[in-house]
């Protein structure tokens, strides 16, 4: 490739990988720089010495209607690395009341199931669902509390667990606009668009390793342990950046900055970006007698929101977990183990080998005020674009939003 067509992608999390993959697919020469010794950011797998198992850094569930996820996996040849039920089904358990049920979305866009008592969320009536139509008329400043009734079993057993998992923010104050964007693209399109999918082996095996192989096969230069500390700007364009060494950005070369918002603000002092964050806490437990059963279960009335099973490792996730993240590992493990015991019917009162992972700045706090701080991919600098789940994708800070941000930066760059 000619030097003038090269694009420097700074950051090899999913946003940077997505940008690099789409650029390489379009025929661009790509140089990818990552400050850590690995790619994937929060979406990766690793071998844990304490557990003697390979685990994911965090637990992630995607939906069949996540078109950016599907496109990305198709490009890197990893479509068959995801697994899930043949048809959309979401098993739930209410630990407070000892009730289990499975949510099965309607086949088409009309939610006929709300008129069948055995298809509804337990404890709800058909009229409870009508208020959801207010989501379709939200404005940018609306919270979920402005649009939905925040009491009753429909909120407790459906909207709240769904919203806190998607938005990683206390649902009552979270952006209704972002929630509607997800509903519109998945549940609002019927069963085929909301089949739940998880990585068959691990997040790295699905999203990271195949992407790096794809890039290397197309001649991409990939540098790890290369944390960029400074951007040099001259006459309205990036002319160099400095990590372990100074890298000149030649005339005609372009840059995609795909780093977390705080890092982006350090490199671009005039940038306005989200500046409030929320934690996610994940626990991984070796449970030899976990037995067979659903690969994941939604949790109501406990500490966590979701439980995942892969072999003899049971993983559990707490979103909007700032309070829990401040506790000790032992206190967190005991709280999460209480959920696991009740869901799986285990006798052991204390957990065996486990790993607690805190992501204290997992996502930005997805309130209307913070969403207003999301920048577009295009910057004021002639040769610089942004990518990341914190940029203005129109979606929450999910895998879908992250991958879409990288694709959007690549497409915007191609049009410039």
- Separation CA 278–CA 297 (nearest Å): 23
| 253 domain residue, yes or no | yes
| 294 domain residue, yes or no | yes
Average pLDDT over residues 287-307: 90
Residue-averaged pLDDT of the chain: 95
Domain count, the chain: 3
Out of 156, 172, 194, a domain closes at 194
H helical segments located in 138-279: 144-147, 153-154, 160-167, 176-185, 203, 209-217, 261-267
Find the domain containing 401 and state its range.
Answer: 3-46+202-275+367-415
User: Does 229 score more than 80 pLDDT?
Assistant: yes
Model pLDDT for residues 123-138, shown as the tens digit of each residue:
999 999 887 888 989 9
Model pLDDT for residues 310-325, shown as the tens digit of each residue:
999 999 999 999 999 9
The percentage of the chain sitting over the pLDDT mark of 70, rounded to a whole number, equals 99
| 77 domain residue, yes or no | no
Which bin fits 227, alpha (ψ -120 to 50), beta or left (φ > 0)? beta
Burial of residue 28 (number of CB atoms within 10 Å: 0-12, 13-18, 19+): buried
Model pLDDT for residues 322-371, shown as the tens digit of each residue:
999 999 999 999 999 999 999 999 989 999 999 999 999 999 999 999 99
Grouping H, G, I as helix, E, B as strand and the rest as coil, residue 337 is helix
406: tokens are: 């990288």
Q: Is the pTM of this model over 0.85?
A: yes
**Beta partners for residue 281, in sequence order:** 318, 358
Per-residue confidence (pLDDT) for residue 132, from 0 to 100:
82
For the domain that residue 218 is a member of, what is the CATH number? Answer: 3.50.50.60
């Amino acid at each position: 490739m000619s030097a003038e067509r090269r694009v420097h992608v700074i950051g090899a999390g999913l946003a940077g990988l997505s940008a690099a993959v789409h650029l390489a697919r379009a025929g661009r020469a790509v140089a990818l720089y990552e400050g850590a010794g690995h790619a994937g950011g929060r979406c990766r797998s690793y071998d844990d010495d304490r557990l003697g198992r390979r685990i994911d850094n965090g637990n992630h569930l995607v939906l069949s209607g996540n078109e950016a996820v599907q496109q990305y996996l198709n490009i890197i040849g990893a479509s068959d690395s995801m697994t899930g039920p043949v048809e959309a089904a979401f098993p739930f358990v209410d630990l407070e009341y000892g009730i289990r049920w499975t949510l099965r979305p309607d086949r088409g866009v009309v939610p006929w199931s709300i008129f069948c008592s055995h298809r509804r969320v337990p404890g709800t009536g058909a009229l409870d669902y009508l208020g959801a139509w207010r989501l379709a008329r939200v404005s940018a400043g609306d919270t979920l509390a402005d649009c939905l009734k925040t009491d009753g079993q429909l909120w407790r057993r459906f909207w709240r667990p769904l919203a806190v998992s998607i938005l990683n923010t206390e649902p009552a104050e979270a952006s209704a606009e972002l929630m509607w964007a997800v509903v519109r693209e998945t549940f609002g399109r019927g069963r085929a668009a909301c089949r739940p999918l998880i990585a068959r082996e691990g997040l790295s095996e699905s999203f990271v390793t195949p992407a790096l192989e794809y890039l290397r096969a197309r001649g991409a230069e990939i540098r790890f342990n290369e944390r960029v500390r400074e951007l040099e700007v001259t006459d309205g364009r990036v002319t160099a950046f400095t990590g372990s060494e100074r890298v000149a950005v030649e005339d005609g070369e372009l840059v995609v900055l795909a780093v977390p918002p705080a890092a982006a603000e350090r490199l671009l002092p005039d940038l306005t970006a989200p500046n409030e964050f929320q934690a996610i806490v994940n626990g991984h437990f070796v449970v030899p007698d976990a037995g067979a059963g659903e690969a994941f279960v939604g949790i109501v009335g406990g500490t966590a929101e979701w439980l995942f099973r892969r072999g003899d490792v049971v993983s559990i996730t707490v979103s909007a977990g700032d309070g829990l993240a401040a506790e000790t590992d032992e206190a967190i493990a005991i709280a999460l183990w209480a959920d696991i015991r009740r869901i799986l019917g285990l006798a052991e009162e204390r957990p065996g080998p486990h790993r607690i992972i805190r992501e204290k700045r997992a996502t930005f706090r997805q309130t209307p005020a913070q969403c207003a701080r999301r920048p577009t991919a295009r910057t004021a600098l002639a040769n610089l674009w942004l990518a990341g789940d914190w940029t203005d994708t129109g979606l929450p800070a999910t895998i879908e939003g992250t991958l879409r941000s990288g694709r959007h930066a690549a497409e915007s760059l191609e049009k410039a």
